[in-house]
Amino acid sequence: MPLNPDSVGVQGVPIRRSWSSTDAMLYALGVGAGVDDLAFTTENSNKVKQRVLPTFAVIIGGGGIPLREIGTFDPTRLFHGAQAIELLGEIPPSGEVETIGRISALWDKRHSAVVEAETESRDQATGDLLVRGRWTLFVRGEGGWGGERGPSQKLRMPDREPDHRVDYQISENQALWYRLSGDRNPLHSDPWFAGRAGFDRPILHGLCTYGFAGRALLSCLCGNDPSCFRTMSGRFTKPVFPGDLLTVSIWKNGREACFQTSNQHGETVLDQGLCTVD
């Protein structure tokens, strides 16, 4: 049945999320970091201070969204449509945040629905706002209530060669590692559930693909210094499968950069990418 448009503006109950040094390292491994990234994957390397990948923001700031308020739907028809993060400070290796989320928009695409939610996460040690997030979810088969279709503006990638290209070979086990950071959706691990959703095998988490792109941006634009990383947004356009080869293309324009991720077939899997740095 159509979703409930009256849910727009509803705010969720504040959720607290704590994390440890191990959680931060496990996330880094989940998005492909390894022996060349010891600042993110170890805590006791000689003369190497542990730091946290900026896209870890989607893990610590992902709670508090009142999804139950939008109505009921088949979970196999729910997909992550887009993601944006804003960091107001560097994420510490361990800590705790309190996150408040709200439903910010509900768009009627006739055959489907798009749900937008916003979150704010405050560092409990300092009281400072640490992370803002914008989450866009796509629900197949749940439109048709006569609501607005929503904005349709599109960011165009520059008509020139990218300033950077970074290739990542995705492990066959990548989704199994990434899910240990908290997203246990069986779409990414259970062949039976993936089949119900229309796939011949489990797909990679969209936020795992997002994390790989974030690593490329951090390396190419910030010299792997997380304190320089400010915002990142992108739209998921095609499923990624464990075993795929991903290429992140980056176009610089001062403190801003556009980016796009494609697979080994030249198909765009993460589009509309925009990042800002200091």
- pLDDT, one tens digit for every residue, the chain (278 residues): 567 888 999 999 999 999 999 999 999 999 999 999 999 999 999 999 999 999 999 999 988 898 888 888 887 788 889 999 999 999 999 999 999 999 999 998 888 889 999 999 999 999 999 999 999 998 888 888 878 888 877 888 999 999 999 999 999 999 999 999 999 999 999 999 999 989 999 999 999 999 999 999 999 999 999 999 999 999 999 999 999 999 999 999 999 999 999 999 999 999 999 999 99
Q: What is the pLDDT of residue 111?
A: 84
Alpha carbon 176 to chain centroid distance? Answer: 17
**134 phi/psi in degrees, rounded to 5:** -130, 120
- Answering whether pTM is above 0.85, one says yes
Which secondary structure element, helix H or strand E, spans residue 27, and what is its range? helix 21-30
Q: What is the pLDDT of residue 2?
A: 65
Q: Exposed e or buried b for every residue in 168-177, given b needs 16+ CB within 10 A?
A: bebeeebbeb
**DSSP strand pairing (229-236 vs 78-87):** antiparallel
Name the region of 251 (left: φ>0; alpha: ψ -120 to 50; beta: rest): beta
Give the other-Cβ count within 10 Å of 142's Cβ: 25
Distances (CA, A) of 212 to 29, 55, 193, 217: 10, 9, 25, 9
Which secondary structure element, helix H or strand E, spans residue 72, and what is its range? none
**Adjacency order of strands within the sheet including 164-169:** 15-19, 95-108, 112-123, 129-140, 78-87, 229-236, 268-277, 256-262, 245-253, 164-169
- Structural domain count, the chain: 1
Measured CA to CA, the distance from residue 192 to residue 92 in angstroms comes to 38
Residue 248: give the domain boundaries. 5-277
Q: What is the pLDDT of residue 197?
A: 85
CATH of the domain at 251: 3.10.129.10
Measured CA to CA, the distance from residue 276 to residue 105 in angstroms comes to 24
Q: Cβ(227)–Cβ(277) under 8 Å? A: no
Measured CA to CA, the distance from residue 243 to residue 176 in angstroms comes to 12
Name the region of 131 (left: φ>0; alpha: ψ -120 to 50; beta: rest): beta
Sign of CA dihedral 162, 269, 211, 34: negative
Query: Which are the catalytic amino acids?
Result: 183, 188
Q: What is the pLDDT of residue 154?
A: 86
**DSSP strand pairing (164-169 vs 268-277):** unpaired
